[in-house]
Amino acid sequence: MAVITETKLPNLYYRGKVRDTYNLGNELLIIATDRLSAFDVVLPTGIPEKGVVLNHLSAFWFEKTAHIVPNHLIALASDAPKASKDKNAAFISSLPRDLALRGMLVKKAKRVDIECVVRGYLSGSAWAEYSKEGTINGTPMPKGLRESDKLPEVMFTPTTKAETGHDQNMSMAEVRKMVGASLTRELEEKSLAIYRFADSYARTRGIIIADTKMEFGILDGKVILIDELLTPDSSRFWDAEKYTPGRPQPSYDKQFVRDWLVKSGWNKEPPAPALPTDVVIGTAERYKEAYRRLTGMAL
Ligand SMILES: Nc1ncnc2c1ncn2[C@@H]1O[C@H](COP(=O)(O)OP(=O)(O)OP(=O)(O)O)[C@@H](O)[C@H]1O
Ligand SMILES: [Mg+2]
């Protein structure tokens, strides 16, 4: 099994913690590597085929939700290339198979610099805010909610896209000031619609989508979904059968690594320790299992 933690193609556009993005003119090639980040630190050990899983899971959701919101997906890099320019098609076709399996060809859009977070359950930073202030993204909430409880209503809780450091919550007034009232309404409606559709679908497959984050861009004057969609890196997936509010829920795939890291005594400052083989294999299995459960297909 190949492990790809580094890509070195020409025209790097952006290197994130997990994905390497390449500029192809009006298109982008996004490669999901096998890098894994935990506690916001990229680990020195890759997880075999994690990038293949994330790439195909994003594509699965883009196809499944295209009737709700159009998106940037042109084609998986491993499919017959549908690039607009012959030059890009030739480039994609020439990729080694290990990269093609992790790559997605997308339309480049003008990014809306807001992380569109949607929450159906009380977890993460929302739980931290609620336990201190009784609010979620500044909105007063009923008393007595427990960690991981289902929220009375699905909530849109946008944040900034911070260049460095942590994303900051944005009020709806701040979003309106940044992008105008009409686009604000559109972002909220589309984000909620995607979440509702995906969560009810996932429930039929035994998974709760506690929360997720999506990004939008503008292409030819229209709003489209960009970036990744409903992956374990952008969402909290919980096992519906083991769901027990009143405590944190084990995350479907990363928990195994997080538990090992905590037990190792690592102080959560870089560099992180290398992972032992059984943790690597166990984690790879869990990513594949999440894919199998959500899509009903083996990879
Ligand atoms: N179709 C698109 N058009 C324009 N920009 C896009 C498109 N799809 C994704 N992007 C942008 O490309 C970048 C992908 O980077 P990536 O998500 O890997 O890293 P990041 O978000 O900066 O860091 P992190 O590793 O924390 O996620 C993001 O800035 C995203 O907004
Ligand atoms: Mg990102």
Query: According to CATH, where is 3.30.470.20 located in the chain?
Result: 111-242
Ligand with minimal distance to 58 CA: 1
Ligand with minimal distance to 167 CA: 1
Mean pLDDT of 136-162: 97
Predicted confidence (pLDDT) per residue in 206-226, tens digit: 999 999 999 999 999 999 999
pTM for this predicted structure: 0.96
Give, as one character, the DSSP assignment of residue 241.
G
290: tokens are 């999440």
pLDDT at 293 over 90: yes
Cα distance between residue 211 and residue 26, in whole Å: 31
Q: Which atom of ligand 1 is nearest to the CA of 233?
A: 27
Q: What pLDDT sits at residue 194?
A: 98
Mean pLDDT of 86-101: 94
Å from CA of 288 to ligand 1 middle: 23
Q: Which atom of ligand 1 is nearest to the CA of 16?
A: 19
Å from CA of 156 to ligand 1 middle: 20
Q: What pLDDT sits at residue 8?
A: 97
pLDDT band per the 50, 70, 90 thresholds, residue 84: confident
The angle that helices 255-263 and 277-295 make with each other, rounded to 10 degrees, is: 160
pLDDT band per the 50, 70, 90 thresholds, residue 115: very high
156 - beta bridge partners? 118
The one-letter amino acid at 104: M
The alpha carbon dihedral of 268, 272, 276, 281 has a sign of: positive
Looking at domain 111-242, its CATH superfamily turns out to be ATP-grasp fold, B domain (3.30.470.20)
Cα distance between residue 213 and residue 159, in whole Å: 10
pLDDT band per the 50, 70, 90 thresholds, residue 166: confident
Cα distance between residue 13 and residue 55, in whole Å: 18
Q: Which atom of ligand 1 is nearest to the CA of 224?
A: 1
Å from CA of 16 to ligand 2 middle: 7
Q: Which atom of ligand 1 is nearest to the CA of 109?
A: 3
Query: According to CATH, where is 3.30.200.20 located in the chain?
Result: 1-108
Å from CA of 142 to ligand 2 middle: 32
> 20, 21, 166: which to mutate for ligand 1, most atoms within 8 A of CB?
21
Q: Whose CA is nearest to atom 8 of ligand 1?
A: 227
pLDDT at 250 over 80: yes
pLDDT at 154 over 90: yes
pLDDT at 149 over 90: yes
């032992």: which residue's tokens? 276
299: tokens are 């990879």
Does 3.30.200.20 match the CATH number of domain 1-108? yes
Mean pLDDT of 11-35: 97
Residues belonging to the chain: 299
